[in-house]
Amino acid sequence: MRLVTIDNGNTNPSVGLFTNNILTQVIPLADYHQLKDDFILISSVGKDLKIKASFDLKTKRTNTHFFDMPVRYTETLGEDRMIAAFGIFKKMHSPETRLVIDAGTFMTCDIVSENGFLGGYIFPGITHFLNTYGKSAQLPIFEKNELLQVNLEIPQTTKEAILKAASLFIRTSLGEIIEKYRPQKIVFTGGDGKLIAEILNSSIPSEIDRHLIHLTLSLIYQSQLHQD
């Protein structure tokens, strides 16, 4: 039997392939060919899948919990945010607060502590933010990686005005959240997680976990479902 995890996000759905509980490959969903004995776990917030999960994780969500993690959020909480928070929650061994920043099509900033998932924020993703200039006005659209080239001087060109505004949007929005909740650690994930971490450049200890969803689904398989 092969463990297969599916992160069906809005933009770049992917599949994680595990061998002996080790993530050996992450491939685009379109490249996945299902085998008869695959055990499949799915986190889905994107388009409907034709693939069915071997176990429906929704059955482990109640009004107050996901498995043993307390959840202080309505039942509209996206599966990706809930699963990512669960992975962080299970790694906690002492009272602390962690900020989970998942930077993709949208950028979610969630607060997790020993008391569970406390809630969080949803911002437009950085690509979406930059694209609004060209969609709503005749302004140029720049590549997100160009954000790493900006400085803090007053913008004096249209390019600088847009890129520095985007950088300021990230740093001030996330900076206010950090100031309010004072997390002991920040975890960045998602396709733009590394980029956001570099732009934010926080002094708080942090880590980049590109495949947090896949690894958490594997953790659920190993530590929760085998107990049933």
Domains of the chain, by residue range, sit at 61-125+167-227
Q: Both tokens of residue 38?
A: 């695959």
**pLDDT tens digit string along 196-225?**
999 999 999 999 999 999 999 999 999 877
Whose CA is closest to 12, among 131, 127, 167, 122?
Answer: 127
Position 59, amino acid: T
For position 134, what pLDDT does the model report?
86
* 177-190: average pLDDT: 96
For range 32-49, the mean pLDDT? 92
- Given pLDDT bands bounded at 50, 70 and 90, which one contains residue 40? very high
pLDDT class of 11 with cuts at 50, 70, 90: confident
- What pLDDT score does 171 carry? 95
Q: What is the pLDDT of residue 227?
A: 55
Q: Is the pLDDT of residue 87 over 80?
A: yes
Residue where the block lists tokens 């933009």: 11
Interatomic CA distance for residues 119 and 111, integer angstroms: 6
Contact present, 161 and 142 (Cβ < 8 Å): no
The pLDDT value given to residue 225: 75
- From the list 80, 102, 192, 209, the catalytic residue is 80
Name the residue type at position 161: A
Mean pLDDT, the chain, integer = 93
Average pLDDT value for residue range 111-125: 96
Q: What is the CATH number of domain 61-125+167-227?
A: 3.30.420.40
| Residue 209 annotated among the catalytic residues of the structure | no
Question: Shortest CA distance to 200 belongs to which of 213, 215, 217, 183?
Answer: 183
22, 213 contact by CB (below 8 A) = no
Tokens of 220: 């659920």
pLDDT surpassing 80 at residue 152:
no
Average pLDDT of 127-140?
88
Instruction: Mention every residue, 6+ apart, whose C-beta is less than 8 A from residue 164.
Output: 150, 152, 155
Centroid of chain to Cα 228: 28
What does the alpha-carbon distance between residue 108 and residue 120 come to, in Å, rounded to a whole number?
7
Q: Are 220 and 67 in contact (CB under 8 A)?
A: yes
Query: Which pair of structure tokens corresponds to residue 18?
Result: 């595990």
Q: In whole angstroms, what is the distance from residue 154 CA to residue 53 CA?
A: 52
Q: State residue 228's pLDDT score.
A: 46
What is the edge-to-edge ordering of all strands in the sheet holding 2-8? Answer: 22-28, 14-19, 2-8, 38-44
